[in-house]
Structure 1
Amino acid sequence: MGAGGPDDEENNRWPPWLKPLLKERFFVQCKMHADSHKSECNMYCLDCMNGALCSLCLNYHKDHRAIQIRRSSYHDVIRVNEIQKVLDISGVQTYIINSARVVFLNERPQPRPGKGVTNTCEVCERSLLDSFRFCSLGCKIVGTSTSFQKKNKFASMISDSEDSYSSSCSHGKLNNNIKVQSFTPSTPPPTSVNYRTAKRRKGIPHRAPMGGLVLQY
């Protein structure tokens, strides 16, 4: 595929450091500074993109753009005042944790939406406030991709087709040209054994011909 294809458009939509950042594992011990009490890797250099860094590693990244990752309930977050300087986070729900407004890096599993929820994440269906579309930066990347939008459009067309079919059936006006495949197993034909069993019926009982006679001697 030549230059300017769909893949290039998807890649150019986001800064080159964003996807590697979301895939990175933070809060592990730094291999270079394992003996230090500040060896926890919770930093990331946007210019080098060479993995999670500890605070001591930053000495090798002077004058670089570095951001700090924090944790909330075992999930990675980043403060809004840091990330919004380098990334458009519109549509992503923000939260206030420890008096600071943050966004989550990736989606968080949610068994079921809460009661009375009217808005959910377009990707993972996590409950959201009405003014947001995504629960995390990762969900925004997925939800705004061309492939995801095509998938949703196709699913919507299938749903509309099923609704139209149900409506036509209820009014007895189903188009004869529409062939609907049924996945319900059909009833198996009777075998020679169960067919005779099914046909055999118990008749009306009759008394023996001589059963009512009384013999006298």
Structure 2
Amino acid sequence: MGRNKMNSSNSSPFETIEQGEVEPSRNMPTWLGPLLKKTFFGACLVHDELEKNELSKYCITCDSDLCKHCISTNKHNDHDQLKIYRNVYKEVVLLEQMEKHTDCKLIQPYKCNKKLVISLNPLPHCGSGSLIAGDPTCLTCKRRLHDPQQFQFCSIACKVEAKWGKIVETKRKRKRKGIPHRTPLK
């Protein structure tokens, strides 16, 4: 399968030993921590007057979240970029795209629009949330895994936490729909 094939010229931030455990060996790429802390799909402040200005790309080179209008300026043409998607109200990236920058072997992929994606941060718990002893779960956040023989983490953030410690701040569970406005008093 092409999933596990890595370009030897890329430096991978994750290495695994034979049993599949995470082997701490290298420093975390400087862009990975900031990527995991960003919130996508908000309105671009630079292009707030234009329609369809949601932040759905990440420039690895600049550490910037971008909208389609930012990309069209050609400033980021020769930069490494990731397209961010939504799956179950969480940010995900195409597995194929992320594998160019980091080793994703132990991270469980999910199908989204017939493509394999991996989650930036943990997805919501499946089902009722109660786990039976012995259920296969993510080593970090204890979310249920579909194939524990092949995968040990449900997201990039969980694998990063297992290797380098907690770097991702917890975000709001639900985003606000907008700024609350009060009715003027008469």
TM-score by length of 2: 0.67
- 1:121-132 → structure 2 map (5 Å cutoff): 121-128=138-145, 129-130=147-148, 131-132=150-151
Native 8 Å contact 2:138 2:154 kept in 1:
yes
Task: Quote the offset at 1:12 in angstroms.
Answer: 4.7
Q: Deviations over 1:93-145 (max 9, x none)?
A: 00111101000000134263556863100111001122211000000011123
Q: Which amino acid aligns with 1:29?
A: A
Structure 1 residues without counterparts, runs of 5 or longer: 1-9, 149-217
Alignment match, 1:56 = 69
Alignment match, 1:140 = 159
Aligned-residue CA RMSD (Å): 2.2
* Structure index of larger Rg: 1
| CA distance in 2: counterparts of 1:48 and 1:12, whole angstroms | 22
What secondary structure is seen at the aligned counterpart in 2 of 1:71?
A: strand
Alignment match, 1:167 = none
Q: Which amino acid aligns with 2:159?
A: K
- Choose between structure 1 and 2 for higher RCO, CA contacts under 8 A separated by at least 6 residues: 2
Sort the Cα spacing of 1:113 and 1:93 in 2 relative to 1 into closer, same or farther, 3 A.
farther
Q: May I ask how many residue pairs the two structures share in their alignment?
A: 137
Native 8 Å contact 2:88 2:123 kept in 1:
no
Sort the Cα spacing of 1:62 and 1:104 in 2 relative to 1 into closer, same or farther, 3 A.
same
Determine which of 101, 120, 134 is the counterpart of 1:86: 101
What secondary structure is seen at the aligned counterpart in 2 of 1:63?
A: coil
The alignment-based identity, stated in percent, is 34
Native 8 Å contact 2:141 2:158 kept in 1:
yes
Q: Which amino acid aligns with 1:98?
A: N
Normalized per residue, which structure has more helix? 1
Native 8 Å contact 1:107 1:139 kept in 2:
yes
Alignment match, 1:33 = 47
Determine which of 3, 7, 16 is the counterpart of 2:30: 16
Sort the Cα spacing of 1:43 and 1:11 in 2 relative to 1 into closer, same or farther, 3 A.
farther
What secondary structure is seen at the aligned counterpart in 2 of 1:96?
A: strand
TM-score by length of 1: 0.58
Sort the Cα spacing of 1:123 and 1:66 in 2 relative to 1 into closer, same or farther, 3 A.
same
- 1:68-107 → structure 2 map (5 Å cutoff): 68-107=83-122
Task: Quote the offset at 1:38 in angstroms.
Answer: 2.7
Normalized per residue, which structure has more strand? 2
Which one is further off, 10-19 or 126-135? 10-19
